[in-house]
Amino acid sequence: MSAALDDTERDESIRMIRDSAAAVAPPGGDLKRVRDLRFKDPGFDRETLRRMGEMGWIGLRAPEGRGGAGLGMGEACALAEALGGGLAPEPLIPCALSAGLLAATGGAGPLDAALAGEMVVLTAWQERADTLDVPGTADAPRRFVPMAAGADLFLVPVREGGKLALYAQPATGAGVAVERTQDGGNVGTLRPSLGGAEKVAGDAEAALAAALDEAALATSAYLLGVMERAFGMTVDYLKTRQQFGRVIGTFQALQHRAADLSMQIALTRASVEAAAASLDGGATGDARRAVVSRAKARAAEASMAVTRGCVQLSGGIGYTDDYDVGLYLRKAMVLANQYGSAALHRRRFMALVPESDE
């Protein structure tokens, strides 16, 4: 479907996606829901995730023939950006990764329930910190599974006969070790137990590599929404806070710092949108991986710089937990390294696009 859209239809599709996101993350709305869910299990609202499934968000990228919407990365990134602005804690990106993986590999088992948001299906692929490699070691712990406390089912890739098979392991009785994250969410460590798991795909390697790249790009867009909203709140503060009888936004030093942050946001937007357009234009192989890495490296570094800068520009109140800007910094701290840190993606980009002597 996505490839058939012309520019006008694509713009309208993206606008509609942004409008629909307001149901979960209203622009400029308060963050009471986010605060109420922090540091509690499962760390998100299952009913809200189910609504996301009903609106087609979990299957946004899945083919129409497999029950998805068949839309492009432009739409997926627009949605992720809007949800980032509202700090939606629901694991939409990890759930979309799993649904897309099932759809691409023909793993019919839990696909319908995953697309509908009725079952929280998370892919447990990572065996060590800061990597996009998937060794598929059968008995190795799978680490850093986002929002694992709320999972119903884990997809576990396992190397078999030179191929990467995919198993569905129920969360019940799985013995997941859960740790809290800075933003009030959680990550889990799963020890695979294939005795009670169902094999849902015989070769998921290519599909998983593509899904991880899309998740990294969607996370970049989420971080773009995080930094843009934090900056907007900070600009509002600079326009109203007075010191020495003047609005502090008129101080030249603060204006210069704000301008630097604004530039970081603009550069991130350009990188994310260019990457989404490249994927929707059919980029494959090294070209696809390179644009994703460029966007994720930019978003990871810029989100930390912008949210830290916003806390500093907000003065003493910015360092209190009650002040909402700090929530955006905490979210950036968690997501900056998810699906690869800035350092990892810079290394991958340079390996894929080496500097030319010409």
Strand runs labelled E in the chain: 121-123, 142-146, 153-160, 163-170, 177-180, 186-190, 198-201, 242-243, 246-247
For residue 127, what is the DSSP state? -
> What's the distance, CA 105 to chain centroid?
22
C-alpha–C-alpha distance, residues 101 and 119, integer Å: 15
Q: CB under 8 Å to 70, separation ≥6 — which residues?
A: 1, 2, 61, 62, 63, 64
Biggest CA-to-CA distance, the chain:
73
Location of structure tokens 């992720």: 80
In the chain, which residues have pLDDT < 70? 1-6, 107-108, 242, 247-250, 356-358
* pLDDT score of 1: 43
**What are the pLDDT digits (tens) for 60-91?**
999 999 999 999 999 999 999 999 999 999 99
Q: CB under 8 Å to 21, separation ≥6 — which residues?
A: 79, 82, 83, 86
C-alpha–C-alpha distance, residues 224 and 235, integer Å: 16
Domain boundaries, the chain: 207-352
* pLDDT score of 242: 61
Distances (CA, A) of 247 to 2, 138, 164: 47, 61, 60
CB atoms within 10 A of CB 346: 18
C-alpha–C-alpha distance, residues 44 and 33, integer Å: 9
* pLDDT score of 358: 40
* pLDDT score of 172: 93
C-alpha–C-alpha distance, residues 175 and 114, integer Å: 22
β 198-201/163-170 pair status: antiparallel
Q: CB under 8 Å to 299, separation ≥6 — which residues?
A: 219, 220, 221, 223, 224, 268, 271, 272, 336
* pLDDT score of 107: 60
Question: 310 and 261 in contact (C-beta within 8 Å)?
Answer: yes
Report the half-sphere exposure of 46 (CA within 13 A, side-chain side): 13
What is the CATH code for 207-352? 1.20.140.10
**DSSP reduced 3-state for 161:** coil
C-alpha–C-alpha distance, residues 326 and 231, integer Å: 12
* pLDDT score of 29: 73
**What are the pLDDT digits (tens) for 287-326?**
999 999 999 999 999 999 999 999 999 988 888 999 999 9
Q: What is the pTM of this model?
A: 0.94
C-alpha–C-alpha distance, residues 45 and 261, integer Å: 32
Question: 48 and 95 in contact (C-beta within 8 Å)?
Answer: no
Cis amide leading into 63 (omega within 30): no
